[in-house]
Structure 1
C-alpha cells in the first residue's frame, strides 16, 4: 500500500513538471513577432520566461534575445545602463557556452558593448578582444572592432607598468594591419571603413614608428622569422610605410617573394626598387604584381602607380598602364584626369602643325570630360580646361573636313581625333 501511494505521488509530480514545460518553438515565434511589432515589453516578458528553459534549443533564440537586450541598453536610464550592458554580456557568454561552435563573434561583440558603453570591469573589454584575436584574428570583420582592440593595446603599452616592449607593440601593430588588409579585400563593401580604420590605427603609433626603430625591430627579428610567412608579410607592410629604402626591407620582401610569391610580395619589391632608384626592376615587379592580382581595384591601383613612374621617361608605356587601370576600374575619374594631362602636356612634342596641336587638346578635353562623367567632382576641372582651349579657325575646320573630320596623331599618342 505504501509503495502504491509513492507511485501515485511520483506520477502527480511528473504531471506537474511536464505541465510546467515550455513550448520553446512556439515561444521563439512569439518572441520574433513581438520584436517585429516593436512590442519590446512583451519581448522582454517572453525572454525572461525562456532564457533559461530554452537556453539550448536554438541559436535563433539568442539572436532574437540579443536584439531585445540591445534595445534595453538604448532605453536604459544612466543609472541603469551598466545593469543592462552586463545583462547582454552575460547573454553572450550563455550563447557561447551552449553553442560553442557558433560563428556570431560573441567575444568581439561583448568587448565592443563594454568599450562603447565605457563599462569595463577589470579590463574586460581588452581581455575579450585579446581572447578573440588569439583564437582567430581574421574573425574581426568589423573595422571599428580592430581599432578598438588596438587602441586598448596601445593604452596598455603607454602604461609602462604593463612592461609591453616596443617589439611587442610593433608585432601587434603589424598583425592588426594584416587583418585590415586581408578583410578589406574579402569585404569590398567595407573598403572605405577598413581604410578609415587603417588611418586611425596609424595615427595611434605615428609618433612611435621612427625609421630607426622599425629597421632595428626587423633586423633583430628577421633570423628567427624568415620562414614565418605571417611575420614576413606584416613586417614588409611595416617597412614599406616607414623604411622602404632600407636594405632590410629588400631582404624581407625578397624572402617573402621567394617562399610565398603573391601580388603583394611583388608590389613590395617594386616599392623597394623604386625607393632605391632601380626603376627598371621596379617596373618589372609592379607589372608582376598587377598580373598576379585577382582584385580589379587592386590591379587598377598598381597600374596607376606604374603610369606615374613611367610618365617622365616613357609616355607610351605610361598611357598603356593608364588604359589598363581604366579597364579594371572605369569609374575612377583620377585616371582620366592623368591621361588627359599626359595628352595636353605633349601638344608641342607631338603636334607638328596648329591643327595637330588643337586636335591633341581636343583629345585631352574628351578624356577629361570622361572623368567628370564617372565622378562629378571633376566637372569643374573639366569645364576650366575647356575654357582655355583655342577652337580651330574656319580655315583649319575646312582642312579637317576634307579629311573626313578626323585628325590622325602619331608620336607616342597614336590616336585619331574626331571633330
Structure 2
C-alpha cells in the first residue's frame, strides 16, 4: 500500500512539473513576433507571460509597454483606447511592485500615459503627478512631464484654487526649476529639451517667480530648512540667475558651504562673492569649485567661466584657467575662440615691431582654427574670425622681407607663444 501511495505521489509530482509554465520559452515566443514589429501577433502570448511570470524579468514589462502602446495607437474607438490605457497604467503598477528600482517614478509615467494618450482625466493626472514628484521627483527625467506638472499647477494658481496659492505654486516652481537645472548640468542628449522646458516655465511664471517673490519665499522658509543641504542647494539653484545679488542668496550660500564643502557649495560662494564685488574671494571659490568637481565637463565649464570672466583682463591667468578647462574637456573648442580674440586684442600692446604685431594676428588665426577641429559646429564662426585675423596677419612678402622663412618667433609679453613661419 505504501509503495502504491509513493508511486502515485511521484506520478503526480512529475505531471505537475511537466505542466509548469515555461516563462523563458514563452518570452522568446512572443519576442519572435516583436522582431518583425508584429505587435498584434505577440499580444496574447505576452499577456500570458505577464500574468504567469510577473517576477521573471523586467523585459516583460518594457516589451509590454511597447505592445500596449501600439494597440492604444491603433484602437478602434475611444472606449477601447481608454480601456487599453488603463491596462497600461496597471502594467506600470505591476512593474513597480516587482521591480521598484527600475521605475521609481511610475506614478509620473502613469500620469503621462493618460496625458499623452489624450484621456480626459486632468484631476487624476495632476494627482498622480503630485504624488510622483513628491515621492520620486529627483528620478524624473522626462522634460515634458516636468513642464506639464508645473503647467497644471500654474493653471490652478491662475484660477484662484486655494490649494495652489502663490506660496504653494512657488514650491512647485522651485522644485521643477532646480530639477531642470540639475538635468542640464549632465550635458545629456536631452539637454535642449530641458532648456526649452525651463524657458517655457520661466515665461509662464514671470509674474509669480519674480526676484522679489523668490527672495521673500526663500527668506520665509530659510529658518525651517537651515540644516537641509538639499533644500538650500535647491533654493540657491533657483536664485542664481535672477537673485544672486540678494542678501538671502549670500546667507544661504554661506550656510550650505558651512554644512558641506563641495564643488557646488563653493560655486555658490563664488557667485555670491562676485555679486558683492569681492573679486579675489570669488576667484578663490571658483578655483575650489573646479578642483572639487569630479565631472570633467562641469570642471571645464567652471574654469571656462573663470577664464573668460573674472580673469579675462589678465591674459596670463586667463590662459592658465582656460588651459585647465581644455585639460578637463579637450573638446571645448570655444576656448580657442576666446584665446584667439585675446591675442588679437593684445597685438598692439605686445608686438614690439610692425612685423610682430602682424605675427600676433597670424597666431590668432592659427589658434582659432584649432576650434573647428574639435567642434565642427563652430565652423562658421571660426571661418569669419580667421579671415579677419588673416587680413591683418603676415604675408609671404613680409616673411621674406624679414628673412623669417622656416624660422620661429617667440612672442612674449602676455602671450608667451611661439609661431613658426613656412619655409616656402
SS in 1 for 2:164: coil
- d(CA) in 1 for partners of 2:217 and 2:317? 38
TM-score by length of 2: 0.85
1:148 CA drift (Å): 2.6
- d(CA) in 2 for partners of 1:212 and 1:348? 46
CA separation of 1:192/1:394 partners in 2, compared to 1, >3 Å: closer, same or farther? same
Alignment of 1:159-170 (within 5 A): 159-170=159-170
- d(CA) in 2 for partners of 1:330 and 1:58? 41
- d(CA) in 2 for partners of 1:70 and 1:390? 62
1:351 CA drift (Å): 0.6
Unaligned runs of 5+ in 2: 1-12
Tell me the equivalent position of 1:31. Answer: 30
Tell me the equivalent position of 2:10. Answer: none
Alignment of 1:312-331 (within 5 A): 313-331=313-331
Unaligned runs of 5+ in 1: 1-13
Q: Which is worse superposed, 69-78 or 308-317? A: 308-317
Tell me the equivalent position of 1:42. Answer: 41
Q: Which is worse superposed, 346-355 or 204-213? A: 204-213
CA contact (8 A) 2:233 2:256 kept: yes
1:318 CA drift (Å): 1.4
Tell me the equivalent position of 1:203. Answer: 203
1:286 CA drift (Å): 1.1
Count of residues in Structure 1 that have an aligned counterpart in Structure 2: 405
In the TM superposition, what whole-angstrom CA distance separates every residue of 1:144-169 from its partner, at most 9, and x where no partner exists? Answer: 33223232332333332243232222
TM-score by length of 1: 0.86
Tell me the equivalent position of 1:338. Answer: 338
SS in 1 for 2:356: helix
- d(CA) in 2 for partners of 1:21 and 1:371? 64
Tell me the equivalent position of 1:6. Answer: none
CA separation of 1:395/1:226 partners in 2, compared to 1, >3 Å: closer, same or farther? closer
Q: Does 1:415 align with 2:422?
A: no
CA separation of 1:139/1:405 partners in 2, compared to 1, >3 Å: closer, same or farther? same
1:307 CA drift (Å): 1.8
Tell me the equivalent position of 1:399. Answer: 402
CA separation of 1:100/1:48 partners in 2, compared to 1, >3 Å: closer, same or farther? closer
Alignment of 1:145-224 (within 5 A): 145-185=145-185, 188-224=188-224
Q: CA RMSD, aligned part only?
A: 2.9
SS in 2 for 1:209: coil
- d(CA) in 2 for partners of 1:36 and 1:312? 57
CA separation of 1:122/1:275 partners in 2, compared to 1, >3 Å: closer, same or farther? closer
Q: Which is worse superposed, 21-30 or 228-237? A: 21-30
1:101 CA drift (Å): 3.1
Alignment of 1:2-401 (within 5 A): 22-55=21-54, 58-77=57-76, 79=78, 80-97=80-97, 99=98, 101-105=100-104, 106-121=106-121, 123-185=123-185, 188-311=188-311, 313-374=313-374, 375=376, 376-392=379-395, 394=397, 396-401=399-404
1:92 CA drift (Å): 2.1
In the TM superposition, what whole-angstrom CA distance separates every residue of 1:275-334 from its partner, at most 9, and x where no partner exists? Answer: 222222221111111111111221221112112224553221112222222222232332
SS in 2 for 1:290: helix
CA contact (8 A) 1:355 1:392 kept: no
Q: Which is worse superposed, 241-250 or 273-282? A: 273-282
1:31 CA drift (Å): 1.7
Q: Which is worse superposed, 14-23 or 332-341? A: 14-23
- d(CA) in 1 for partners of 2:188 and 2:223? 35
- d(CA) in 2 for partners of 1:102 and 1:274? 41
In the TM superposition, what whole-angstrom CA distance separates every residue of 1:234-276 from its partner, at most 9, and x where no partner exists? Answer: 1111221211111111111011111012212211121122222
Tell me the equivalent position of 2:7. Answer: none
SS in 2 for 1:163: helix
- d(CA) in 1 for partners of 2:208 and 2:58? 44
CA separation of 1:78/1:207 partners in 2, compared to 1, >3 Å: closer, same or farther? farther
SS in 2 for 1:93: helix
- d(CA) in 1 for partners of 2:257 and 2:72? 50
CA contact (8 A) 1:138 1:183 kept: no
